[in-house]
Structure 1
């Protein structure tokens, strides 16, 4: 007969495992993704795309576990809006965005200006935008996003993003957006 200790770490592991299993099961049953929002550990995001007019709200992760269907949906939503090419969005970027909403106490949708960008689109923009588009942009790796948040001044959005220390943060006041990425920690603007 084996005796298993019921330690706090074990209880936490079992709770998180149960939540992930529940989320996977509910997802498989086609329960609306937002129904998962009430499950402990659920992490949700909402976006409105300024170029396509599309909107999305979903639970993208249970704790640190990104839900595969949600990842696919976000990859498609944050696609290169010029070419339609779909990239792979870095799960760390999604985590930073969820953390940013938490820091700001916000529940409204992020307005997306640019998510994934194909190398062809990036090069075209680099040549036609008169600067501001990096040759080796992290947008091409799904590691960057340009956003704003209705009702939140850009400077406050930038400051909150910088406080997370998760990567690069830049403010573009003329174009009315904040850039966030999961590259090295730095900030500008």
Structure 2
């Protein structure tokens, strides 16, 4: 009988295959359904027009190639600068999708924001942009979901009791972050 040894290298090879499959086949369910304990997310970026559907974690391990893909996807859409997103933010979004029962993608308004962009927005938007925004640390995202009323998205996020939740009905998004628990 042949014994199978699951090494870290084997895990990374398998994870890379999943990441490529998830990125290459937008919104396909088989990539996530084929692997037990796979966590996947789908995003549409409202400013770049890009879409991605990807398995970002399997069990307790994040898929490094998937996180790299998501970092690029969540880049500062003003400057093009790529930051490093907090993987716990993706876990928060995954839990939120499960709570809501939605099959729709997250529509991303803003992910990573470089300090120069943050400063420009802060000085030109008449408020609403924090000086030390968690967007600059890759710990915040502004989103909505097409099939979910914005107030329901906010309420579901608040029910999780994790991080910050900001409600912006006029601008049609909810801010989520992995900072301390608070809401506005």
Tell me the residue number matched to 2:25: none
Alignment partner of 1:67 is 2:63: yes
Distance of 1:92 and 1:163 partners within structure 2:
17
- Tell me which of 122, 132, 149 is aligned to 1:136: 132
Question: CA shift at 1:166, angstroms?
Answer: 1.2
Distance of 1:166 and 1:91 partners within structure 2:
14
User: How many residues get paired?
Assistant: 172
Write out per-residue CA displacement over residues 122-163 of structure 1, whole angstroms, 9 at most, x where no aligned residue. Answer: 000000000000000000000000000001000000000111
Unmatched 5+ residue regions in structure 1?
Answer: 1-16
Alignment partner of 1:24 is 2:7: no
- Tell me which of 144, 153, 175 is aligned to 2:149: 153
1:132–1:53 CA distance, 2 compared to 1 (3 A): same
* Contact 1:23-1:36 within 8 A present in 2 as well: no
Alignment partner of 1:171 is 2:167: yes
* Contact 1:112-1:146 within 8 A present in 2 as well: yes
RMSD: 2.0
1:32–1:187 CA distance, 2 compared to 1 (3 A): same
Distance of 1:59 and 1:107 partners within structure 2:
15
Alignment partner of 1:79 is 2:75: yes
Provide the secondary structure at the position in 1 that maps to 2:88: helix
Provide the secondary structure at the position in 2 that maps to 1:32: helix
Question: CA shift at 1:26, angstroms?
Answer: 2.9
TM-score (norm 1): 0.85
Tell me the residue number matched to 2:121: 125
Write out per-residue CA displacement over residues 54-111 of structure 1, whole angstroms, 9 at most, x where no aligned residue. Answer: 0000000002211000000000000000000000000110100000000001121100
Distance of 1:46 and 1:90 partners within structure 2:
17
TM-score (norm 2): 0.87
